[in-house]
Amino acid sequence: MSTPAFDLVIRNALVATASDTFGADIGIRAGRIVQLGAALAAGAREIDAAGRVVTPGGVDAHCHLDQPMAPPARMADDFDSGTRAAACGGTTTVIPFAAQEKGQSLRAAVADYHRRAEGRAHVDYAFHLIVSDPTPQVLQQELPALIAEGYTSFKIYMTYDDLKLDDGQMLEVFDVARQHGAMAMVHAENADCIEWLTKKLEAAGRTAPRFHAHSRPMLVEREATQRAIALAELVDVPILIVHVSGREAVEQIRWARSHGLNVFAETCPQYLFLSAEDLGIDNSYMGARCVCSPPPRDKRNQEVIWRGLADGLFTVFSSDHAPFNFDSPEGKKPGGEEVAFRHIPNGIPGIETRMPLLYSEGVLGGRITLNRFVELTATNPAKAYGLHPRKGTIAVGADADLVIWDERELTLRNTQLHHNVDYTPYEGMQLNAWPAITLARGEVVWDGRDFHPRQGRGRFLACGLPSLLPRRSRNDKESHANLAD
C-alpha cells in the first residue's frame, strides 16, 4: 500500500483568512500546511469540516502567565494551565511577558522566564520583554542583543511604581526600538493622576473595588496616550498602545493616525463585555473580580470599542489574561483579607474566552466580518510581533494551527473552562460558537469535549521584526531624531 500524501487532511473546510473566505481541503504534513485545494489525496487521518468555518489558530499577543509578582500575589496560571486554556479556546500561540525587575538584568529576566516555560507549554510561545530599568547597559547592550536573538517587542509602563518609566526613559527605549526595528508597546495611564485620585478617595473612605474605576478615569488614559504618541513622534518610531479601554484614548489614536503617525492599538474583551458596573454598584467586594487597568468604562463606551474594531482603528485583539483567584490570599484577597482597591491585584482571566467571545458577538452578531476577526485575533498579532507568515494565517508553508468552529448555543460557565482561576467575569453569558477542534502544528489539542495534553508540545518561537509596516516609511527626513540632517 502506498504511503498517504498527508498526515492529516481537513476536508470541505470553509477557510477564512484575513483577506479571503473560500472552500478547500487542507493537507497537513509534519505539522505544516502543505497543500490547499479541492479533492486532495488521502491523508493518514481525515477530519470532515463540512459546513464549518476554519480559521487560523489564535495568536494571543498579550497575556500574563506565571509572571513573578510581589508577595503575596501569585498568578493562578502557569505555562501548563495557561496554554491548556488557550488551546481549548482556539489560541495556538501565546506571547506573555518576561518582566525585568528594577535592578535586574534583562538577560536574567529572560533566563528565569524560559525556566518557567520550558517543557510545560501545550502550544507555541514567544516572549515580549518588560523593560522597567533602562540602564545604559540595558539600552546599549542587552536590548539590542536580545532583539537580534528574537525578543523583538517590549512593553513599557507609564504607571505602577515598580515598573513605570519617566518621559526621558521612554524616549531612550523608543530610540532603541527605532534603531533596531523592534516594537514598543505602551501601557498608557498617568501614574501621578492615579496616585492623587487614590489618596483623595482613601481620605474619603472610598476604598471598595468600584472606586478603582474612579481612580483611573478616561482622562488619565487619554493624557498618557497623547504623551506616548508625542514621544514616539519625536523619536519617529511606530508604537502599539496596549489594552485601550476608552473613547478618549481612541480619539487620541485617531488624531495620530490622521496625522500620518504609525500608532497601533490593541483592545481586549473586557472593554466590550464589561462595564464599570461590574466593579460593583454598591460596596460589595465581588467587584474585585473585575479590577483591571485600565478599568472597564460605561456601557456606551463599549460601542466606541466595537466601532474601532470594525473600522480598522484597532490592530490587535488580545486577552490581557492576568489570572488571579478571587477567593485566595494569593489573589484578589491579599493575605485572605478584603482590602482597599489600591491593594487588589490588577487583572482578569480571559485567555480561553477571547476567541469565542469575539466570534460569537462580533462575527455572528454582525459587528465585524469573519476576515476582520481573523486579522484581529491571529494575522495582525503575528505580523506585529514578527511571527507571520509561519503563524496567523492559513497558507502553504504555515504551521497547521487551526480552529474548526462549532456554531452552537452555549452558556458560559467557569466550570467548563480550563484555566486555574476560580471565576470568569463572563459567567452566564450566552454564546453562539466555540471551537469544535483546535489543531496545534497539526495535532488535535482540543476536540470540543476533551483537552489532549502534551506538555512540552509547545515550543519557544524566536520572533522576527514586526511586518505590519514597510520599514522607515514615514518622514525620514523630517524626523526630530535625525539631528545630523
**Site residues (vs ligand URP, CB under 6 A):** 64, 187, 243, 292-293, 320, 322, 346-347
What, of ligand URP, Zn ion, none, does residue 57 touch, CB below 5 to 8 Å by kind? none
What, of ligand URP, Zn ion, none, does residue 297 touch, CB below 5 to 8 Å by kind? none
What, of Zn ion, ligand URP, none, does residue 346 touch, CB below 5 to 8 Å by kind? ligand URP
Q: Which region among 313-321, 380-388, 432-440, 442-450 touches Zn ion (by CB under 5 A)?
A: 313-321
Binding flag, residue 320, Zn ion (CB under 5 A): yes
Q: Give min distance, CB of 322 to ligand URP, in A.
A: 4
Q: Which long-range contacts (CB under 8 A, 24 or more apart) does 449-456 make?
A: 451/84, 451/87, 451/88, 451/418, 453/84, 453/122, 454/122, 455/80, 455/119, 455/120, 455/121, 455/122, 456/119, 456/120, 456/121
Binding mask 182-201 for Zn ion (x = CB under 5 A): -----x--------------
What, of Zn ion, ligand URP, none, does residue 457 touch, CB below 5 to 8 Å by kind? none
Coil/strand/helix, residue 15 = strand
Q: Give min distance, CB of 342 to ligand URP, in A.
A: 13
Query: How many Cα atoms within 13 Å fall on the side-chain side of residue 259?
Result: 13
Q: Give min distance, CB of 271 to Zn ion, in A.
A: 13
Q: Give min distance, CB of 243 to ligand URP, in A.
A: 6
Question: Closest CB to ligand URP among 14 and 249?
Answer: 249
Tell me if 53 sits within 8 A of 16, measured CB to CB: yes
Residues in the chain: 485
For residue 305, count other CB atoms closer than 10 A to its CB: 25
Q: Give min distance, CB of 48 to Zn ion, in A.
A: 39
Strand partners, 25: 37
- Spell out a b/e string for 391-412, using b for 16 or more CB atoms within 10 Å of the CB, else e: bbbbeeebbbbbbbbbbeeeeb
In terms of Cα–Cα distance, which of 89, 13, 93 is closest to 46?
Answer: 13
What, of ligand URP, Zn ion, none, does residue 315 touch, CB below 5 to 8 Å by kind? none
What, of ligand URP, Zn ion, none, does residue 292 touch, CB below 5 to 8 Å by kind? ligand URP
Burial (CB count within 10 angstroms: exposed 0-12, middle 13-18, buried 19+), residue 205: exposed
Question: Closest CB to ligand URP among 17 and 91?
Answer: 91
Q: Which residues bind Zn ion (CB under 5 A)?
A: 187, 320
